[in-house]
Amino acid sequence: MWLVWIVLAVLGIKVFNKLTSGKCYDDTVMSGKVVVVTGASGGIGFETALELAKRGAKVIIACRNDKKGERAVRVITKLTKNKRVRYIHLDLTSLSSVRQFCRELSTTEAKLDVLVNNAGAICTTRERTNDGLLKDMQINYFGPFLLTNLLIPMLKAGAPSRIVVVSSAWHKFGTIDGIDDETTGYIQSYANSKLCNILFTKELARRLKDTSIVVNCLNPGQVNTSLYRSSTILEKLRSVLLYFFFKTPAEGAQTSVYVAVSDDCDVVTGAYFEDCKEVRPSAKAEDENLARQLWTISEKLVNLKPDEMSGVLT
């Protein structure tokens, strides 16, 4: 008898999750729009790019693995019949790759309508990149910080335009104290990077307030992707929880798509979303002084040059 109750409880949890998981019902058409999705070779990024291509956007798949990136282009083109999907190499562990990506994009596109900063990773080894930054911090935060700053002029040309930043509920455990300290544990470091995503969103929104560029961030929820592949502990936890609680990548992409296309988000800026609804992040993520402090540190660490700051107010 107890087995029946367990099965019923599991099914109940699954049905509850399906019913409460946010869905983007907005049917905005994206023809004529140019969109960049980072980390679109798999997981949430791939599903986000697929959905935006379905809506007719010209989609740039920005990722580090050429084979995976080109395969994503082929699959999305086949599924959507949208021929305006292309791949440009972007390795966020290299600041020169970020700069090269922006140069290449600007040779073919005159404007950008939506930038989705989705790429992310959990790095169990505490290593530094050739730029001297912690690898996970650079992939999840410093690389996107530089990328976004460099693309502001193109986003201004596409205005009204949007920047979408994929954060996580892990931001609640984050702090900015260990963002350049390699003794910080890898789970703490991931949480730190996700807090930085929100602080960055809020500070950038403040700096862009007199423009028609909006910037918002989100938590996609717990999603069954390869994000936890490098971590034995998290991988085990993931396999146990997978069936009960995790979203599919397509479900996980709903909030990114919503923030990128919905009319509801036309003039909303500096906000944090979950399940296609605006919610409050942690108190620390709303600390304006911390956000300003982080911006100053980030400018220094990515060596943002004066001509690269031209798009964003101080």
Ligand X SMILES: NC(=O)c1ccc[n+]([C@@H]2O[C@H](COP(=O)([O-])OP(=O)(O)OC[C@H]3O[C@@H](n4cnc5c(N)ncnc54)[C@H](OP(=O)(O)O)[C@@H]3O)[C@@H](O)[C@H]2O)c1
Give the residue numbers annotated as catalytic, written as ranges. 190
Q: Is 201 in the site for ligand X (CB under 6 A)?
A: no
Q: Is 168 in the site for ligand X (CB under 6 A)?
A: yes
Query: Mask 48-87, x = binds ligand X (CB under 6 A)?
Result: ---------------xxx--x-------------------
CB of 32 to ligand X, least distance (A): 26
CB of 259 to ligand X, least distance (A): 13
Q: Are 221 and 44 in contact (CB under 8 A)?
A: no
- DSSP letter string, 67-111: HHHHHHHHHHHHHH----EEEEE--TT-HHHHHHHHHHHHHH-S-
CB of 8 to ligand X, least distance (A): 26
Choose among 199, 214, 205, 211: nearest CA to 284.
199
CB of 73 to ligand X, least distance (A): 13
Specify the DSSP class assigned to residue 170.
G
Q: Are 102 and 155 in contact (CB under 8 A)?
A: no
CA 110 from chain center: how many Å? Answer: 23
Q: Is 118 in the site for ligand X (CB under 6 A)?
A: yes
Residue 73 or 90 with smaller CB distance to ligand X: 90
Query: In angstroms, rounded to a whole number, what is the distance separating the alpha carbons of residues 215 and 212?
Result: 10
Out of 53, 114, 121, 276, the only residue in the binding site for ligand X (CB under 6 A) is 121
Q: Is 227 in the site for ligand X (CB under 6 A)?
A: yes
Stretch that binds ligand X, among 77-85, 116-124, 178-186, 299-307 (CB under 6 A): 116-124
Residue 209 or 229 with smaller CB distance to ligand X: 229
Residue 68 or 156 with smaller CB distance to ligand X: 68
Choose among 314, 106, 312: nearest CA to 211.
312
What end-to-end distance do the CA atoms of the chain give, in Å?
A: 65
Q: How many CB atoms lie within 10 A of CB 136?
A: 26
Count of residues near ligand X by CB under 6 A: 29
- 230 contact partners, CB below 8 Å, separation of at least 6: 121, 122, 123, 124
Strand 114-117 vs strand 161-166: parallel, antiparallel, or unpaired? Answer: parallel
Residue 70 or 292 with smaller CB distance to ligand X: 70
Q: Is 187 in the site for ligand X (CB under 6 A)?
A: no
- 207 contact partners, CB below 8 Å, separation of at least 6: 312, 313, 314
Out of 24, 30, 119, 208, the only residue in the binding site for ligand X (CB under 6 A) is 119
Out of 154, 166, 176, 304, the only residue in the binding site for ligand X (CB under 6 A) is 166
Choose among 171, 162, 245: nearest CA to 204.
162
Out of 35, 52, 92, 208, the only residue in the binding site for ligand X (CB under 6 A) is 92
Out of 85, 95, 139, 261, the only residue in the binding site for ligand X (CB under 6 A) is 139
Q: Is 281 in the site for ligand X (CB under 6 A)?
A: no
Q: Is 226 in the site for ligand X (CB under 6 A)?
A: yes
Q: How many CB atoms lie within 10 A of CB 134?
A: 25
CB of 1 to ligand X, least distance (A): 35
Residue 104 or 292 with smaller CB distance to ligand X: 104
- Interface positions with ligand X (CB under 6 A): 38-39, 41-45, 63-65, 68, 90-93, 118-121, 139, 166, 168, 219-220, 222-223, 225-227
